[in-house]
Structure 1
Amino acid sequence: MKEEIRTSLAPLPVACYSQGILVKGTLYVAGQGPVNAVTGEIPEGIEAQTKQVLENIGHILKAAGADFSDVVKVSAYLQNLSDFESYNKVYQEFFPAPYPVRTTVQSGLANILVEIDVIAEL
């Protein structure tokens, strides 16, 4: 049985998807962009956007009773791979060792610099 995870502290879905789905102790968090759920604003620059994305993910993890130490898989999408070093600098502030496995690719993102989705084991 799957359970929807939802919080108003992260941007609410704008299409047919859930913020998170919990199935048998595994939490799947949908790709999150850098929108501030309270103000609706998108910060400027890769570091600020990465921080906002990870804060959004953190709110969804918390709503499911998890945190970043429970994350086992990360998929990250960058508008430009030349931003990798700056993105990674912020990323490592959120995830404790042992780090989750991760895939980072360049993607044709519209109007944002980064989007991230995660899988966590509770």
Structure 2
Amino acid sequence: MNTPESQTTQHIERLNSPAFSRLGLPFSEIVRMGDTLYLSGQMGTLPGTLTLAPGGMQAQAQQTMENIKSTLEAHGYSMDHIVKCTVMLADMKDWPAFNEIYKRFFTAPYPARSAFGANGLAMGGQLEIDVIASARR
């Protein structure tokens, strides 16, 4: 989907919604290359801001998943297009609680996924998730 906020270079399309563009961040919201979408890491920030959702890991996990969903939908895709998630948790003890929230956004068969503990996530966040999705509609 080409929008005024997208840029295409040699079969690589950079997609940025107007709300994302207003944040002025030094990366693209989504990069499309062929039939593959690469979403930049999503965190539990409140929509249109760089403020983390209050309430700790569970609130941030819920907001992160909502952000992934709304980012895909802003460009004409859905959660069903996701093929791989990479999850970075500030504390691996939060793994079971994260899984409960994660399962609310998918049905079996689930996307492929990897996860690891990370020290020092941006903005002091509790988690970050990056996503690879299919661009086929």
Which amino acid letter does the alignment assign opposite residue 113 of structure 1? Q
Alignment deviations for residues 55-74 of structure 1 (CA, whole Å, 9 cap, x no partner): 11112211232111110000
> What is the deviation of 1:114?
0.5
> Are the equivalent residues in 2 in contact too, given 1:80–1:107 (CA < 8 A)?
yes
Match of 2:40 among 6, 30, 38: 30
Alignment length (residue pairs): 121
Whether the 8 Å contact between 1:10 and 1:59 is mirrored in structure 2 is no
State, as a whole percentage, how many aligned pairs show the same letter.
33
Say whether 1:97 aligns with 2:108. yes
Deviates more, 1:2-11 or 1:83-92: 2-11
Alignment of 1:1-122 (within 5 A): 1-9=11-19, 12=23, 14-15=25-26, 17-38=27-48, 40-43=50-53, 44-108=55-119, 109-110=121-122, 111-122=124-135
- TM-score when normalising by structure 2: 0.80
CA distance in 2: counterparts of 1:116 and 1:13, whole angstroms: 20
Name the CA shift for 1:10/1:80 in 2 (closer, same or farther; >3 Å): farther
Gaps of 5+ in 1: none
Could you list the runs of 5+ residues in structure 2 that have no partner in the other structure? 1-10
* Contact 1:30–1:117 (Cα < 8 Å) also in 2: yes
1:2 is matched by which residue type in structure 2? I
Q: Measure, in 1, the Cα distance between the counterparts of 2:52 and 2:106.
A: 22
Query: TM-score, normalized by length of structure 1?
Result: 0.89
- In 2, Cα distance between the equivalents of 1:105 and 1:73? 14
Look at both structures and tell me which one has the larger radius of gyration over its CA atoms. Answer: 2
